[in-house]
Amino acid sequence: MKDVAAPVVKAARQENSLSVLWRVLRANPLSFLGFLMVAVLGITALVVVVAPGLIIPYGPLQQTMARNAPPSLQHPFGTDNLGRDIYSNVMLALPLDLGIGFAIAGSALIIGGALGLLAGFYNTPGTVGGAVSISIMRVTDIFLSFPSLILALALTRVLGLGVGPTVLAITITWWPFYVRLVRGEVLAVKHLPYVNAARAAGVTENRILLRHVLRNVLEPTIVYFTLDIGTVLVTYSTIGFIGVASKYPGPQPEWGAMLAFYQQTGSANVYPWLVIAPGAAIFITVLAFSLLGDGLRDILDPRTRRAFVRGTITHDPPPETPAPLPVASGAVTDSNPVAPVTVIDTGVRT
């Protein structure tokens, strides 16, 4: 009885989750960069909303004397043909674009995730759940059979121009991907032995879904979600680029619309900084969330999490001699603690 667990990391055991997070991040610099970038973006967006005067020198439509000025200390990203400050406009768009990313991907995650859980778990043919499951999947297939960008564009025309209708239109085209993803993961997880073991222990079906299946589906879903925020941003900017989502120049700038405006007016050919700044903003945001997604994968999975921590701490050496058997409670105390192990191997192997 000496098969004590693999060498145990004593130092790591007492750590709280925050310091484990820190270790994982330190072991994986790219994820760390992603976390850092998302944090900076988030804090900046918060400052822009709460106290724009701190970091935004000009109003979105405010004209200065410097027309078509290249980047300078006064205007870090330059100005356009009417002397509007590009830096101010890019910064003002940050909270909106981040919000759009979270709103669309978040609602798609909640709607699609819930439907995917139901469709994957209660899919026994011939039951009410089975019928619901099939209905969910057929509706999902119908939505997936349209190219989502074209569908979103068409919906935007129906729902009207502006940020709200565009967000709604993209959300309507976006949730089916989550149904597919979550349902597939649920189908894989629900047949694993530990789900049946939980069932054998008397856990009810609903609790199995919420405690055992959902927890193990969460990790790939959250990772997909963070990566997806970038994709949503690009899609929104594409629709913005076509010019149906947001109006630019206007009181509330948006990166895709900025790109579209300067590209269409032809100024971008002569004054490239007009498009470099909003383009780079989209690029950096998408990159930040992609890196974050990779990092989350490592943190949410207990196996990789431990592996990272292992890499930074030395192991306790495995015990040379078997440790004395602990005196167990009650009736087991009189059992011989050093009973020789007899190997019984007289059986039939088939």
Partner 1 sequence: MGAGTFYAVSDVTMKIFPGQVVGIVGETGCGKSTLAKAIPRLLPEPPATIGGGEIIFRGTDLVKVPKRQLPMVRGTGIGMIFQEPLNSLNPAYRVFDQIAESIRIRHYREMGWVRSFQGGEAPFDYSKPAPSTSVGSSLTKSIVPDGSIEEAARDRLRTRSEFREEVLEYLRLVRINDPETILNLYPHELSGGMRQRIMIAMALSEKPSLLIADEPTSALDVTIQAQVLTLMKELIEEVDAAILFISHDLGVIAETADEIGVMYAGRIVEYGPVAEVFRSPRHPYTKALLRAAPSKYKAEGALDSIAGSVPNLSRPPPGCRFNPRCPLVRDVCRGEHPPLAPVDTTADPATPGLHRSACYFADEVPGLP
**Footprint of partner 1 on this chain (CB under 8 A)?**
1-6, 8, 13, 124-126, 192-194, 196-205, 211-212, 215-216, 302-303, 306, 323, 325-326, 328-332, 335, 339, 341-350
Q: How far is the CB of 34 from partner 1 (least distance, A)?
A: 23
Q: How far is the CB of 188 from partner 1 (least distance, A)?
A: 12
Minimal distance in Å, beta carbon 119 to partner 1?
A: 18
At 63, which amino acid appears? Q
Provide, rounded to whole angstroms, the least separation between the CB of residue 121 and partner 1.
Answer: 13
Q: In angstroms, rounded to a whole number, what is the distance separating the alpha carbons of residues 290 and 33?
A: 11
Alpha helices in the chain (DSSP H): 10-13, 17-27, 29-50, 86-121, 128-144, 148-159, 163-189, 193-200, 205-207, 214-242, 255-264, 267-270, 273-300, 302-312
220 versus 249: smaller Cβ distance to partner 1: 220
Which residue lies nearer to partner 1 by CB, 141 or 205? Answer: 205
Instruction: Closer to partner 1 by CB, 193 or 317: give it.
Output: 193
CB of 161 closer than 8 Å to CB of 91: no
Q: Which amino acid is at 7?
A: P
For residue 307, the minimal CB distance to partner 1 (Å) is 9
Integer Cα distance of 272 and 300 in angstroms = 42
In the bound complex, what is the minimum distance in angstroms from residue 128's beta carbon to partner 1? 13
For residues 157 and 211, which CB has a smaller minimum distance to partner 1 in the complex? 211
Is the CB of 145 or the CB of 350 nearer to partner 1?
Answer: 350
In the beta sheet, which residues pair with residue 79?
Answer: 85
First-residue to last-residue Cα distance in the chain:
27
Of 270 and 331, nearer to partner 1 (C-beta) is 331
- Residue 197 identity: A
Spatial CB neighbours of 222, under 8 Å, sequence gap ≥ 6 = 296, 300
